[in-house]
Amino acid sequence: MKPLKITALACALLTPLTVTAAAHASAYPVKNPVLVKNALYQAGPLPTTTCNNLPDEPTTPAEARTYINEALRCLENTWGQHLQKAGLPYEPAKVQYVTRLPKNYCGSEDGETIQSSEVWYCDWDRTLSFKIGKYWLLGPITGLDLFNTIADTYSYHVQKQAGLYDAGEDLRAASKAEHLEQGRRIYQQAECLGAAFTKSVWPLPGKTERDWEKVASSFYRDSAEYGKAANRKRWVKAGFRTADPASCNTWAAASSKVS
At residue 105, the pLDDT reads 84
Calculated CA dihedral for residues 220, 67, 119, 7, nearest 10 degrees: 30
Helix or strand (DSSP H, E) at 27: none
Calculated CA dihedral for residues 42, 43, 45, 48, nearest 10 degrees: -170
Give me the number of domains the chain comprises.
1
At residue 181, the pLDDT reads 96
At residue 113, the pLDDT reads 61
Residues in CB range of 115: below 8 A, 6 or more apart: 133, 134, 135
At residue 107, the pLDDT reads 74
At residue 10, the pLDDT reads 30
Cα–Cα dist 255/259, whole Å:
6
- How close are the terminal C-alpha atoms of the chain, in Å? 23
Alpha helices, DSSP H, located in 105-228 = 135-138, 145-162, 164-170, 176-200, 209-216
**Segments forming the whole domain that contains residue 61:** 4-257
Chain-centroid distance of CA 5 in Å reads: 10
Residues of the chain with confidence (pLDDT) below 70: 1-27, 108-115, 138-143
Cα–Cα dist 230/233, whole Å:
5
At residue 151, the pLDDT reads 98
Sheet (strand 4-7) strand order: 10-13, 4-7, 118-122, 127-131, 94-97
Q: pLDDT digits over 13-45, tens only?
A: 333 333 333 333 446 789 999 999 999 999 999
Nearest to 127 by CA among 152, 109, 145, 105: 105
Q: What is the chain's Cα-based Rg? A: 17
Q: pLDDT digits over 140-180, tens only?
A: 566 688 999 999 999 999 999 999 999 999 998 889 999 99
At residue 116, the pLDDT reads 81
SS3 for 150? helix
At residue 139, the pLDDT reads 54
Going from the C-alpha of 241 to that of each of 12, 89, 118, 235, the distances in angstroms are 25, 26, 28, 10
